[in-house]
Amino acid sequence: MPLLTQQIQDEDDQYSLVASLDNVRNLSTILKHATCLATKNGIKVTVENAKWTLTAFRMCYQGYGYPLMLFLEEGGVVTVCKINTQEPEETLDFDFCSTSVINKIILQSEGLHEVFSELDMKSEVLQITMSPDKPYFRLSTFGNAGSSHLDYPKDSDLMEAFHCNQTQVNRYKISLLKPSTKALVLSCKVSIRTDNRDFPSLQYMIRNEDGQICFVEYYCCPDEEVPESES
């Protein structure tokens, strides 16, 4: 079934465009050199990878009850992928409110890249300390070999904004934070905020090749009460 035939067939179909457009924005920032073309037939993404081959990609969704269709064309080979859709679960609302933010810092991401890739995976938690006093911003892990602490002083070159009103020390499961490293690697800046419930909000600012900016937001729950004596 060549790509061309499918296009003609789809002329009459309805697509839920709003959802598709959102996906494309994320997709285009994750893929480098991507050109997106949105038409009433679907979203077409063309990607040039390092080997200078063109991969054309199209995603179509006819509506409720139909599978999500992906069409890829690479080097004359057409691949069609049908993914059965599921009933959407209600997305978790972390209820993070900007007005109840206690601490906020904005860091240049390059300062965090190495840290996150070298995080001691034997540690179950990542402890984040944010404080108006020393150590200002600290990332700590506790593993079998010992504990490690990484401090970022508030006047560091990497620190773009530092607004901490209260000392907050919170632990978050590393397994929950690890997925966000993908966004971290792509981002140029990251904002870390914590609210009065100790919930974190990580916002990654990603700039793609055309200069377009997009954000990836990440929320999770704090792990447990931190014992007071922690040096």
Partner 1 sequence: MKFRAKITGKGCLELFIHVSCTVARLAKVCVLRVRPDSLCFSPAGFHGLREAGLWCEVRRGAFQQFRMEGVSEDLDEIHLELTAEHLSRAARSAAGASSLKLQLTHRRRPCLTVAVELASSLGRARSVVHELPVQVLPRGAWRACLPPSLRAADASIYLPRWRTLRSIVERMANVGDHVLVEANLRGRMTLSMETEVVSIKSYFKNLGNPPESAGAPPNGDLESVVQVRVDNRKLLQFLEGQQINPTVALCNIWDNSLLQLVLVQEDVSLQYFIPAL
- Select 18 or 50, whichever has its Cβ closest to partner 1: 50
Gap between the Cα atoms of 204 and 190, Å rounded: 5
Q: Kindly state the smallest distance separating residue 81's Cβ from partner 1, in Å.
A: 5
Q: Kindly state the smallest distance separating residue 77's Cβ from partner 1, in Å.
A: 6
Residue 227: alpha-carbon gap to chain centroid: 30
Give the contact letters, 149-188, x = binds to partner 1 (CB under 8 A), - = no. Answer: ----------------------------------------
204 contact partners, CB below 8 Å, separation of at least 6: 109, 180, 183, 184, 186, 187, 189, 190, 215, 216, 217, 218
- Select 71 or 218, whichever has its Cβ closest to partner 1: 71
Told to check if 88 binds partner 1 by CB under 8 A, we report no
User: Which member of 79, 147, 166, 212 binds partner 1 (CB under 8 A)?
Assistant: 79
CB of 57 within 8 A of CB of 72?
A: yes
Gap between the Cα atoms of 95 and 98, Å rounded: 10
Told to check if 54 binds partner 1 by CB under 8 A, we report no
Residue 52, sorted as left (phi over 0), alpha (psi -120 to 50) or beta, turns out to be left
Considering only 21-29, 78-86, 175-183, 194-202, which stretch makes contact with partner 1 by CB under 8 A? 78-86
Residues in the site for partner 1, rule: CB under 8 A?
1-2, 74-84
